Amino acid sequence: MSLSTLLYTWVFGKFVGQDDFDNKYYCNSKNFSNKDFKRWVIFNGKVEATKVPPHWHAWLHKTIEDPPLNYSHKYFWQKNHEENLTGTEKAYYPDEHPLSKANNKVKKSEYESWSP
Please tell me the predicted confidence (pLDDT) of residue 16: 94
pLDDT at 58 over 80: yes
As a whole number of angstroms, the distance between CA 64 and CA 67 comes to 7
How does pLDDT run across 5-20, given as a tens digit for each residue? 889 999 999 999 999 9
Q: Check: CB of residue 25 under 8 Å from CB of residue 56.
A: yes
Which SS3 state, helix, strand or coil, does residue 49 take? helix
| Predicted structure pTM score | 0.75
- Domain spans of the chain? 3-104
| Cα distances (Å, whole numbers) of residue 65 to 23, 25, 43, 95, 108 | 19, 14, 21, 44, 59
pLDDT at 52 over 90: yes
- Provide the pLDDT confidence category of residue 25 given band limits of 50, 70 and 90: very high
